[in-house]
Structure 1
Amino acid sequence: MVDHDSPADGDLETAAQGAGASDRPGPRRSTWTPPSTAGMTPPLMSDDDLASALEHDLERATHSGTIHTIGAVEPEPEQEPEPESAREPEPMPEPMPEPDFAIEPDSESEAGNAPQPEAASKPAIVWDLDAEPLDEVATEAPETGAVMAPVRRSLPTSELAAALAAKAEAGGDTDEIMATLAEQLSLREQDAADFRQWQESMTSGATPEALAEVESARDGFGDILDDGHTTDAADAPAPPPAAPEPTHTFRMDEVLDSDLSSAPAPMTAPISDIPPPPGHELMPPRPPAVLQSVPPATPAIPDLVEPAPAASHESFDFDALLSGAVTGQDADTEPTDSDLGDSDPADTDRADTDPADTAIPDPDVADTDRAFADLTGPFPVTSEGVAILPEAPGAPIEPIASPRTPATEHVVIEAEPVSPPAFRVEESSVQPTAIDQRVGRASRLFWLWFAANSSVVSVAFGGAVLALGMSLRQAIVATLIGVAVSFLPLGLGTLAGKWSGQPTMIVSRATFGHVGNILPAVLALVVRVFWGAVLLWFLAAGTSRILVGAELSGSLGESQVTIIGLALGFLLALVIAFFGYGLIARIQLTFTIVSAMLIVGLILITWPSVDIATALTVGDGPWILVLTGAVLVFSFVGLVWAVSSADLARYQRTGSSGASSMLWSTFGATIPAFVLIAYGAVLAASNPDVATGLVDAPLDTIALLIPTWYPIPLIAALALSLLSGVVISIYSGGFALQATGATMRRSAAVVVVGVGVAAVAVLIALSVGDFTIIVRDVATSLAVPIAAWAGIFGAEMMIRNRSFVSEALVKRGGVYPDVNWPNVAMLIVSSIVGFGLTTASVSWLNWQGYLFPLLGVPLSSDVAASDLGVFVALVLGILTPIVAGIPAIRRQEELGPVRMRSQAD
């Protein structure tokens, strides 16, 4: 055979010599000679031995050995799997999840105990046949020396806790602290992965020196290793004298046919669906690795071994780290790795994993594979076989401020807001009304006040205004002024009741002080008793006059009917006021509807008596009389109910509009009064006889203007409205009595006031018979101090920006003082000035008007008769807080929230 490509060495020398002798090459001949047999290497084994070895390899291939996947990672050297000798058989073997394929270097670099074998240039799939390496191969392992221990990059636990605590104390940003913590945790995971890789490489030979070096280096990584103490040869329990027989060895020859033992070695491992062992969660399979050299083969099932008990390790507490201290793990509350179960067989592949990948969560592990630390059943593991423990709880969340109901408000949280029952005695008195009962709308105030001011008596009052000497237009203007001024005490008092949910004279303590308010409270009690008695007398006397005039009284005389009317009216009013607001609200609604119908009927029936042409012919009187008429209307409408304005507003919704509540209450009190007073002035201006009769005998005069069949409706129009006024007087008088400091229940106070109203009513019926004297003298005399109080109280309401501290209105020593001396003093001064500018015809009131002579005004003049002292007292009262009360009001508003928080705490 001629080889033209590879000449022999001898031929090369000949060719060289020939080239030197002649430049022209000649024909080439074959110079190849067979190699000498003296230097040939004899075969290692004979053909029979080779066949026996192949048969032995086939048997081992069919045996379920450990299959490892060794990735050919370029920069990092690959590590060999942990020797099978370090494992111990499990008592109850179970098939394991399908492991990854093993890619190992060629046989020349497969040193059994080499700490760092050379990486294979080309990956290849090999089977771990548990065979001992050949001696000659083992002796060829490179002498690389001891592998250096990895250098730790993360901070120890104590230093990390101290660093985080220092940042927290220095006021560092929370995001920055959390970023530092996350960075250190990532470094800890990388350090742990590097240490495990180095440990497996060192313990592969299981030499005493390597194990001692591993134990020495472990001290620096003890606080970051989460798999407990490794079960290397030094820590493993001593083997028994006689090697026990394996509890179970899963062999393929139990399943395969007997002729497979002589078959050639399979290229792929057998495929079998084997359930996972108990105590492990079956993890989702990884996608198969793409291999370029040979197709992937299904690995054999490894022997099941029972791991040695691992020592418990200290858990990492995030909360303790953030707080500046790291505490040890509580064995009673947190299970360790040894408690959860043995590790996954994938632990043997840790050396093949890039350390940088250990810090990245495995995306193949589903959320449903994770369990909490308190579970005692199967638990999830990572791709490296490490048990997945629950995350430590985050830092405690700081409390978030939320709005809460002030301590001064009494609420029923779970109860549905409902109106108070009608026939249940009202419990609320000086304390704030419970929010669950404050369901009244603003429109409710209209009919609460309408019934009390829609009496037929207002028609007679219009005749009295015209009788002062004014014309019709002057009388209407005076009425309009009086009604308009009445808006001030009625509206502002309503707003005070809506703000605090308390009676008028209790709220007045914020203006005059706890002790200083006794004077206004006594004054309000006198006004309520007096006007309640007057209205009750009007009810009894008017009903008696109508019944006797219509000959419906039988054998009873007028005085007897009057006494009976007083008794019946008193009992009805007392019972209604005793039950309280629930029954009053329903009665007032009924009275309002009936009274409105009766007023419309009365106007329609008496309209034929109206003569507009004649009414307009009445000449004008002195315009100073308009002031007199306005004072009378203001005293009869606004000041009569000023001390009761908040009493009916206590049950208004807290979220309702204050302006709407003020308008509805004033409209309910003033519209019917204005219509009836103006209509009475029209009737009086239309006929001089009617004008005289409305002043001298109002009810008889009205009875003459209606048909004979209308007495019963007329009695209803008279009685219902007056009875409504008596009820409110007794009900409000009970609160005024409590405001004086009397310690009694509201129902008991109502009874006391009711008895006083009845006594005064009887006294009036027996001694006084002139309607003009009562309205003109007594009413205006009581109006002076009430006007001064209304001015001071109303002005403070206009100045205030915040609501009242309700609890401080009930108990002394809070926000509001015992005596507000400027307001108390000006109340007295304004009343003195007002009395000096009013006059009276009654002998026991003729001391008034003492300032007119000083001003050079005769007592018999129209100016002296105008009773302008009422308006003067009102104006002085309004100016008092504006001039001297604003600083005190602002201090109360500043101290109010502080005191409420202290009381709540």
Structure 2
Amino acid sequence: MSEQGAAPRNPSASTIEKNGVNPVPDAERGGTPRGLFGVWFSWNVSIMGVGYGIFVFGLGLSAWQAIVAGILGYVLSSLLVGVLAVGGPRTGLPTLTQTRFAFGLHGNRVPAFFAYLSNVGWKVTIITLASTTGAALFARLWPSAFAKSDGTGTTPAIVLWFVVVLAATVVAAVFGHRFIVRIENWIAWVTGAFTLVFIGLIIPHVHWSRLGDTGNGSFWTFVGGVIMAMTMVGLGFLNYGGDFARYLPRGTRARGVIGWTAGGITLPVAVLLVLGVLLAGTNPSLGAKAADAPIAALTELLPLWFFIPFSVVIVISLVAAAITGLYSSGLALLAIGVPTSRAGTTVINMVLISAGAFYLLFVSDSFLATFQAFLALIAVPMGTMGGIQLLDFVRQRRLGWDVSMALPAGYGGRSGRWTALVSLVAASVVGLGLVTSSDPNIGEVVGFLLPSGAQDGIVAKTNLGVVIAMIIGAALYALLTYGLRFQVPGDRSKPAEPEQREAVVR
């Protein structure tokens, strides 16, 4: 694509990013894959990781089985994110724009819409959690001003933290990639150090003498633990791997991108998973409380001298996740085709997230569970899209990572590629038929392929349907594209000048 009008090679981190879903010009690229570690680490170093370990253990595994299954699931799914991230430096495109190669310009709007919905939805949840965590800190420090009779934060305290959290998130997302990478690396150091101290203070609550009380689970329960770990962490990031790698030089080694991405995702959640398993396996009462509300249950155990700064660090870690998510959701909105700039999408997302978080915080007292159950189901088409994109990398590499495939029909791309769309729909239907939902209303329309009595089994509990859909989608796409050779090549019937092509993809 054209690189005319490229910005200086190393613009300041205080400069607002101008690139949207266009290929990043080579003149603006730089850095090494090591910079990806901090972005992904800060996104994933959260006390919520303790709860993930408790969930895996709760399937019926022994402590050592839960630890091995969880870490194995994290590593496998994070490696997939790393592989998809390689497309970033090769094309300079965000992941949800590069998926146009597989789905076509208009066909890509279907998975991109679900990816956008999922990302914004989880950001609503994260900002809500950050606001209530900050309010809980104020309630403990100044109960006369900021605590209700039950000890929880008052509405003014929640509103104050909501405004602060949302403002910090939006400002960072507007400045864009370079600013985000810089602050996320600092956040990674701070949150990592405080998390180590937190682990040291919680470890005394592990009753080591009871570590072997729980017997081993079956082989299939172990497999279920691996699948559950994959769906809780790595598979949720498949659609955003290239967003932060696309500023790396085009020739960056794939193994560096994969390794630093996977390492940044896996390390923090793996360490916290071990702590969660140890708590659940040796201190059942504390494990049960932490599974239901990890932040409240675990921060109650901290001395005041550490509770104060660590509560701030928890908020910072949640804001770090919200920043990267808001940035990626803006790119997703552009990939759908919304006619605005990247900064403009941030404003749109701010309005939507503000409305959603306000509703969760101040209006509804029963909507959150249903909302999260709905977002969990979106993992089925999202995982399937990731599997198809991974398979399409073979074709994309063979074609030299030609970015014109992201353009409309006539300029090098297609309006839609039926091979990918059929694979996505067919696999998603199967996946939804094999998952269950904690919400009874949603549960009525899913799980229709599960035999009677299987709703409480390992397949249903572990979201195995997500991985099955991913495998089926990739296999069907491979059959149609490489087996039966329905390649659906790009349409170049309307040759255009470089400037025209650049304008179309922006």
TM-score, with structure 1 as normaliser: 0.51
Shift of residue 656, structure 1, vs aligned partner: 1.7
Match of 2:448 among 822, 845, 850: 850
CA apart distance, 1:772: 7.7
Contact 2:91 2:250 in 1 (8 A): no
3-state SS of paired residue (1:762) = helix
Preserved contact between residue 56 and residue 225 of structure 2 (Cα < 8 Å): yes
Distance 1:864 1:411, change over 3 A: same
What displacement does 1:818 show? Answer: 0.9
Displacement after TM superposition at 1:582 (Å): 2.2
Q: Partner residue of 2:102? A: 511
Higher gyration radius (CA):
1
Tell me the secondary structure at the aligned position of residue 338 of structure 2.
coil
Question: In 2, Cα distance between the equivalents of 1:477 and 1:870?
Answer: 21
User: Could you tell me how far 1:601 is from its partner in structure 2?
Assistant: 1.2
- How far, CA to CA, are the matches of 1:616 and 1:631 in structure 2? 24
Return the offset for 1:622.
4.6
Shift of 1:623: 4.4
Distance, in Å, in 2 between the alignment partners of 1:683 and 1:643 is 33
Distance 1:858 1:590 in 2: 46
- Aligned counterparts of 2:365 and 2:70: Cα–Cα separation in 1: 26
Q: How does 1:113-262 map to 2 (within 5 A)?
A: none
Corresponding residue for 1:762? 358
Query: Partner residue of 1:738?
Result: 334
Q: Give the superposed CA RMSD.
A: 2.8
Contact 2:63 2:212 in 1 (8 A): yes
- C-alpha deviation, 1:685, in angstroms: 1.6
Q: Which amino acid aligns with 1:688?
A: P
Residue equivalent to 1:545? 136
CA distance in 2, matches of 1:584, 1:724: 9
Compared with structure 1, are the counterparts of its residues 770 and 687 closer, same or farther at alpha carbon in structure 2 (3 Å cutoff)? farther
**434, 443, 448: which one aligns with 2:34:** 443
Q: Which runs of 4+ in 1 moved over 4 A?
A: 768-775, 888-892, 898-904
Matched, 1:650 2:240: no
Residues 15-414 of structure 1 aligned to structure 2 (within 5 Å)? 408-410=1-3
Contact kept in structure 2, 1:412 and 1:436, CA below 8 Å = no
* Residues 163-213 of structure 1: CA deviation (Å, up to 9, x unaligned): xxxxxxxxxxxxxxxxxxxxxxxxxxxxxxxxxxxxxxxxxxxxxxxxxxx
Give the C-alpha shift of residue 779 in structure 1.
4.7
Matched, 1:434 2:25: yes
1:793 matched to which residue of 2?
Answer: 389
Kindly indicate whether the alpha-carbon contact (under 8 Å) linking 2:79 and 2:259 is maintained by their aligned counterparts in 1: no
Matched residue of 1:646: which SS?
helix
Distance in 1, Cα, partners of 2:486 & 2:349: 34
| Superposed displacement of residue 899, structure 1 | 9.4
Q: What are the residue-to-residue correspondences of 1:558-707 with 2, within 5 Å?
A: 558-560=153-155, 561-707=157-303
Alpha-carbon contact 2:231-2:463 (below 8 Å) kept: no
What is the SS of the residue equivalent to 1:885?
helix
Is 2:378 the partner of 1:782? yes
Partners of 1:812 and 1:634 lie apart in 2 by 36
**How far apart, CA to CA, are the structure 2 residues paired with 1:873 and 1:768?**
33
Which structure has more relative contact order (CA 8 Å, sep 6+)? It is 2
Post-superposition shift, 1:597?
A: 0.8
Secondary structure of the equivalent of 1:804? coil
1:891 CA drift (Å): 4.6
Q: Matches of 1:611 and 1:792 in 2, distance apart? A: 45
Aligned length in residues: 489
Structure 1 residues 454 and 852: alpha-carbon distance in aligned structure 2, compared to 1, 3 A threshold: same
**1:485 equivalent in structure 2:** 76
The whole-number CA distance in structure 1 between the counterparts of 2:473 and 2:487 is: 16
- Which residue, out of 805, 812, 815, partners 2:412? 815
1:630-665 Cα shifts (integer Å, max 9, x gaps): 333222211322211111111111232122112111
Using the alignment, how far apart are the partners of 2:498 and 2:172 within structure 1? 39
Q: Distance in 1 between matches of 2:73 and 2:365?
A: 26
Alignment partner of 1:500 is 2:91: yes
Q: Report the Cα offset of residue 579 of structure 1.
A: 1.3
Amino acid at match of 2:442: L
Match of 1:532 among 117, 123, 139: 123
Candidates 55, 58, 61, aligned match of 1:467 = 58
CA contact (8 A) 2:2 2:499 kept: no
Specify the SS of the correspondent of 1:426.
coil
Q: Deviations over 1:702-750 (max 9, x none)?
A: 1232222111222133112110110111111111111111111110011
Shift of 1:577: 0.4
**Contact persistence 1:518–1:740 (CA under 8 A):** yes
Aligned mates of 1:472, 1:489 — CA distance in 2: 26
Distance 1:628 1:778 in 2: 21
* Change over 3 Å in CA distance of 1:481–1:773 after alignment to 2: farther
**Which residue number corresponds to residue 504 of structure 2?**
none
The residue type equivalent to 1:664 in the other structure is W
How much has 1:530 moved relative to structure 2?
0.9
| Matched AA of 1:595 | T
Partner of 1:839: 436
Indicate conservation of the 8 Å contact 1:808/1:815, yes or no. yes
Residue aligned with 1:859, SS: helix
Alpha-carbon distance, 1:590 to partner = 1.1
Q: Is the CA contact (8 Å cut-off) linking 1:636 and 1:779 kept in structure 2?
A: no
Partner of 2:14: 423
**Structure 1 unaligned residues grouped into runs of 5+:** 1-407
| Contact 1:625–1:866, Cα closer than 8 Å, also in 2 | no
Q: 1:130 matched to which residue of 2? A: none
Secondary structure at 2:21 match in 1 = coil
Return the alpha-carbon distance in structure 2 between the equivalents of residues 758 and 622 of structure 1: 45
Select 1:555's aligned residue among 135, 145, 151.
Answer: 145
Deviations 1:217-237 (A, max 9, x none): xxxxxxxxxxxxxxxxxxxxx
Q: Which residue type is aligned with residue 173 of structure 2?
A: A
Indicate whether 1:806 and 2:403 are aligned: yes
- 8 Å CA contact 1:459–1:677 kept in 2: the answer is yes
Q: Answer yes or no: is the 8 Å Cα contact 1:412–1:435 preserved in 2.
A: no
- Output the CA distance in 2 between the equivalents of 1:863 and 1:885: 30
In 1, the alpha carbon distance for the partners of 2:320 and 2:190 equals: 12
Pair 817,670 (structure 1): closer, same or farther in 2 beyond 3 Å:
same
Matches of 1:417 and 1:630 in 2, distance apart? 43
3-state SS in 1 of match to 2:455 = coil
Tell me by how many angstroms 1:848 deviates.
1.1
Does the 8 Å contact 2:387/2:470 carry over to 1? yes
The C-alpha deviation readout for 1:12-51, integer Å capped at 9, x for no partner, is xxxxxxxxxxxxxxxxxxxxxxxxxxxxxxxxxxxxxxxx
More helix by share: 2
Please list the CA deviations of residues 404-444 of structure 1 after superposition, one character each: whole Å capped at 9, or x if unmatched.
Answer: xxxx152668x8631x3222221101111121221121101
Q: Distance in 2 between matches of 1:473 and 1:778?
A: 32
CA distance in 1, matches of 2:218, 2:359: 37
Unaligned 5+ runs, structure 2: 148-152, 502-506
Q: Residue 752 in 1 paired to residue 344 in 2? A: no
Q: Which amino acid aligns with 1:719?
A: V
Residues 332-359 of structure 1: CA deviation (Å, up to 9, x unaligned)? xxxxxxxxxxxxxxxxxxxxxxxxxxxx
1:584 Cα offset (Å): 0.8
Secondary structure in 2 matching 1:602: helix
- Give the secondary structure class of the aligned counterpart of 2:268: helix
Amino acid at match of 1:551: L
